[in-house]
Structure 1
């Protein structure tokens, strides 16, 4: 089993879990005046790191990544949505679609992780 692949799968699962929490929070705050929807950024950061276009870390105390396994999900306020009269920009249809897409993403990650561990089990037999 390739530790690098397993580590990336675990990081992706963590990102998916964070996304679930974030979308759930957005839905819970759909009627909260002034609330701004949040989004989890992970896949684009991973892509940048794998392409070598991400922010490079030159010191251990600096932000950035040295390789794909350094990538961590982060939550950011979402822009671009229409803001209601109360200052809230949560679009419930968008959130429900995001929830559904994340569920499919999570299930695929679980399947891939399970396959990785099944390969390890077969090698150890």
Structure 2
């Protein structure tokens, strides 16, 4: 089904992928920076919570939270659980390279979905 909410959700997913690319690049460039803590982009987990109904809900215009799936946006968070090196840095280059590859696949999949959505619109307009 084609709807504005599908397009918005796909846009937010592409934004998450773009933000993730920048975050991974930043982590890689700071692999030797003393005290640097690796960052991650949280989108899919927040989206899952919104779908399950376990995430924060906005029930007033001044509240924070996702009142719909369109309200789910990517956020950068500090990564927990990595081994901390003697200089206080917790960037693992192998993890970052794997995340980079996974993000490229994710971007391709979301782009294909968005392209399909536009293809359906084009076919209806013909």
TM-score range, shorter chain: over 0.9
- Consecutive unaligned residues in structure 1, runs of 5 or more: none
CA distance, structure 2, for counterparts of residue 37 and residue 60 of structure 1: 34
Q: Which runs of 4+ in 1 moved over 6 A?
A: none
Deviations 1:51-104 (CA, angstroms, capped at 9, x unpaired): 111011122222111111111110000010000000000000000000000000
- Please identify, of 77-86 and 49-58, the stretch whose mean Cα deviation from structure 2 is larger: 49-58
Report the CA distance between 1:41 and its aligned residue. 0.2
- Equivalent residue number for residue 2 of structure 1: 3
Query: Could you state the TM-score of these two structures normalised by the residue count of structure 1?
Result: 0.97
- Consecutive unaligned residues in structure 2, runs of 5 or more: none
Deviations 1:29-65 (CA, angstroms, capped at 9, x unpaired): 0000000000000001001111111011122222111
- Equivalent residue number for residue 18 of structure 1: 19
CA distance, structure 2, for counterparts of residue 84 and residue 41 of structure 1: 24
- Equivalent residue number for residue 42 of structure 1: 43
- Equivalent residue number for residue 51 of structure 1: 52
Query: Could you state the TM-score of these two structures normalised by the residue count of structure 2?
Result: 0.97
Q: Over aligned residues, Cα RMSD in angstroms?
A: 0.7
